[in-house]
């Protein structure tokens, strides 16, 4: 069985190299300006052949992956889909499946078997132990079995689901998770300085916030914008997170401690339930304390508005994040882990609520974060992909020197998740 990949970006190359290692012949194609570089890259690899014309990939390959941005999937399948090999298996790797399925159904020949997938991790993570969502749209039992055999070569944990359920789950596990960390980056950039030099962001939970903020800004912006803007389920969740941040911040500046505590309490009860003492924490002090970029010697209390708002948004939408662990991603699991750590440590919870109500030193940070969330939510609401990428690149440029360290350390932290 020969494999075809349209789009030899970071994830496309990762797939090509994995299948080539397993002995499959892989046909790849990309934009004309990238062909020469790809030929040089794989000149010594007899199992990867680069084609300047994607129609050759379509004609030769038994199973084909469109590894292109979601806003380009329609154009790509329209260009190469009509040349698809008879009785081939075809799918995409978009992080949002509804527009992908529409394109595949519209432009592929009727004899094509549509079986699509999504590796719920970036190209910097290993396949092993990660989640691979597989979606059977139209396929014979024989072809589906063949596709599952190919997918098993990746070594990921395979989850079978339909495309709408996929988009609903990823709206929670990815889109809103990214929004939180991107907003942190924007807030810290606008305040100036670096968060790891500030005592409010050193140790424990804050190490994780910083590392994941850097990890996400080391990724590809079109993946994140696609998840947020092209996923219809994400809009509602982004809107609620923005609302939760704003309403909790309003309680903070008005000193409404009793309502604040009650709202957080209700949310904690919903997410963690009556038996939370029986649940093992995903993160602990030993792990959280090891990973830091900071040099500040004195740790100051933090209000953790970003995490309280996530907890509140889950409650307002009646989404229990543990129900989505089947499609977890490393950033989502870490985000849930630090929310869990905050909500279930009575002393830290009390300290953070006190900081939210009374610590004026952290208030300017919370204001910057609230404004940043509102900015990002507005960009997403208005489907402003260019604006999304512009904001992303401003943050990346500001933190560029520390992104490699952030990706390395966050990778080590991810490997130790329970």
- Token pair, residue 403, equals 């992104």
- Whole-angstrom distance, CA of residue 297 vs CA of residue 274: 38
> What is the residue-level pLDDT of the chain in tens, covering all 418 positions?
999 999 999 999 999 999 999 999 999 999 999 999 999 999 999 999 999 999 999 999 999 999 999 999 999 999 999 999 999 999 999 989 999 999 999 999 999 999 999 998 878 788 988 889 999 999 999 999 999 999 999 999 999 999 999 998 888 887 888 999 999 999 999 999 899 888 888 777 888 899 999 999 998 898 899 889 999 889 999 999 999 999 999 999 999 999 999 999 999 999 987 545 556 677 766 666 665 665 555 678 899 999 999 999 999 999 888 887 766 777 888 888 899 989 988 899 999 999 999 999 899 999 999 999 999 999 999 999 999 999 999 999 999 999 999 988 888 887 776 5
What per-residue confidence (pLDDT) applies to 205?
86
What per-residue confidence (pLDDT) applies to 181?
95
Sign of the CA dihedral 287, 197, 249, 174? negative
| Contacting residues for 25 by C-beta, under 8 A, at least 6 apart | 2, 3, 47, 49
What per-residue confidence (pLDDT) applies to 21?
97
Of 355, 373, 69, 341, nearest in space to 230 by CA: 69
What per-residue confidence (pLDDT) applies to 300?
82
What per-residue confidence (pLDDT) applies to 296?
54
Report pTM.
0.84
What per-residue confidence (pLDDT) applies to 275?
43
| Contacting residues for 116 by C-beta, under 8 A, at least 6 apart | 91, 92, 93, 97, 100, 101, 104, 134, 135, 137, 163
What per-residue confidence (pLDDT) applies to 199?
82
- All domains of the chain in start order, with CATH: 3-161 (3.40.50.720), 165-415 (no CATH)
Residue with tokens 């004195």: 298
Output 12-16 pairs: Cβ under 8 A, ≥24 positions apart: 12/65, 12/67, 12/93, 13/41, 13/123, 14/123, 15/65, 15/67, 15/93, 15/154, 16/48
């Amino acid at each position: 069985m020969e494999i075809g990949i349209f789009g030899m970006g970071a994830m496309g190359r990762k797939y090509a190299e994995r299948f080539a290692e397993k002995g499959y012949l892989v046909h790849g194609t990309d934009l004309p300006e990238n062909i020469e570089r790809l030929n040089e890259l794989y000149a010594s690899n007899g199992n990867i052949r680069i084609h300047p014309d994607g129609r050759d990939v379509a004609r030769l390959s038994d199973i084909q992956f469109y590894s292109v941005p979601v806003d380009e999937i329609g154009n790509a399948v329209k260009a190469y889909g009509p040349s698809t090999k008879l009785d081939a298996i075809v799918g995409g790797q978009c992080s949002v499946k509804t527009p992908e399925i529409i394109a595949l159904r519209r432009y592929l020949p009727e004899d094509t078997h549509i079986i699509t997938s999504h590796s719920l991790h970036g190209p910097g993570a290993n396949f092993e132990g990660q989640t691979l969502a597989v979606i059977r749209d139209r396929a014979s039992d024989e072809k589906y079995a063949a596709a599952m055999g190919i997918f098993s070569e990746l070594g990921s944990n395979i989850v079978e689901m339909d495309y709408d359920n996929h988009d609903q789950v990823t709206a929670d596990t990815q889109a809103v998770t990214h929004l939180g960390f991107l907003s942190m980056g924007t807030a810290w950039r606008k305040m100036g300085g670096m968060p790891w030099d500030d005592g409010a962001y050193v140790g424990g939970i804050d190490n994780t916030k910083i590392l994941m903020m850097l990890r996400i800004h080391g990724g590809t912006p079109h993946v994140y914008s696609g998840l947020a803007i092209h996923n219809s389920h994400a809009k509602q969740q982004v809107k609620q997170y923005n609302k939760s941040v704003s309403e909790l911040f309003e309680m903070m500046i008005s000193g409404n401690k009793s309502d604040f505590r009650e709202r957080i309490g209700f949310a904690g009860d919903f997410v963690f339930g009556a038996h939370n003492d029986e649940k093992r924490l995903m993160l602990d002090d030993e792990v959280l304390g090891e990973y830091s970029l900071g040099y500040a010697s004195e740790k100051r209390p933090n209000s953790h508005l970003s995490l309280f708002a996530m907890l509140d948004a889950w409650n307002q939408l009646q989404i229990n994040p543990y129900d989505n662990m089947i499609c977890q991603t490393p950033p989502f699991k870490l985000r849930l882990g630090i929310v869990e750590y905050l909500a279930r440590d009575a002393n830290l919870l009390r300290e953070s609520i006190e900081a939210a109500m009374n610590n004026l030193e952290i208030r300017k940070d919370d204001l910057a974060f609230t404004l940043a969330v509102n900015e990002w939510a507005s960009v997403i609401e208005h489907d402003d992909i260019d604006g999304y990428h512009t904001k992303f690149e401003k943050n990346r440029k500001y933190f560029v020197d520390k992104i490699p360290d952030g990706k390395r350390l966050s990778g080590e932290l991810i490997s130790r998740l329970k």
